Amino acid sequence: MIYCCGNWIPFTGLEAYPLKLLASYLQGRQQYTVVGDYRSPMLEITQGVPQGSSLGPLLFALNVNDLPKASAFNSTLFADDTVLSISSGNCIELQKLVNTESQKVDAWMRFNKLSLNYSKTSYMKTISRSVGIFYRIRHYLNERALKSLYFSIVFSHLQYAIGA
């Protein structure tokens, strides 16, 4: 990685001129905040990816391209979003694994001067075993009992994941 203008840029084989052009794009940016009638002083931005620009998604992708190497999570990177997933047949083992790997991701984010938006973060435990149980017990319970189990065991988790 190359440290440029207060930003870490992953080495991508860029020649000197394109790298200088990229550096000039990141240098000298300023911003201020307006709340009601108050306007804050203008301050220089020393790190981060410019929001709302055409190069923003590319720079973000360059900035997070090594995240998948930081932990054992399976990583799916989108333009400005990331999904981390991991699986295990044992719930206790899975919880330990998620905690351990989350600490690795947290360390990676701190090293790269990134922060996690917890209001946009959700955790979902898949419940494929629970669904298979319904197939096996369908002959022993009536439809009302099966629906009651479904809504308490499966639907509530799905509803939480969708609404989160």
Ramachandran area for residue 47 (φ above 0: left; ψ -120 to 50: alpha; else beta): beta
Q: Which of 51-60, 99-108, 142-151, 154-163 has the lowest mean pLDDT?
A: 154-163
How far is 93 from 97, CA to CA, in rounded Å? 6
pTM here is 0.57
pLDDT tens sequence across 6-30: 555 555 555 667 777 777 777 888 8
Nearest to 113 by CA among 30, 19, 1, 25: 1
* 83 compared with 159, residue with greater pLDDT: 83
In this prediction, residues 29-33 reach a mean pLDDT of 88
Q: Are 47 and 7 in contact (CB under 8 A)?
A: yes
pLDDT tens sequence across 103-156: 999 999 888 888 877 777 777 666 555 567 777 788 888 888 888 877 777 776
Angle between helices 128-137 and 143-150 (to 10 degrees): 170
CB burial of residue 7 (10 Å; 0-12, 13-18, 19+)? buried
Nearest to 59 by CA among 45, 49, 51: 49
> How many CA atoms lie within 13 Å of 136's alpha carbon, on the beta-carbon side?
5
Rg (CA), the chain: 23
Q: Are 83 and 75 in contact (CB under 8 A)?
A: yes
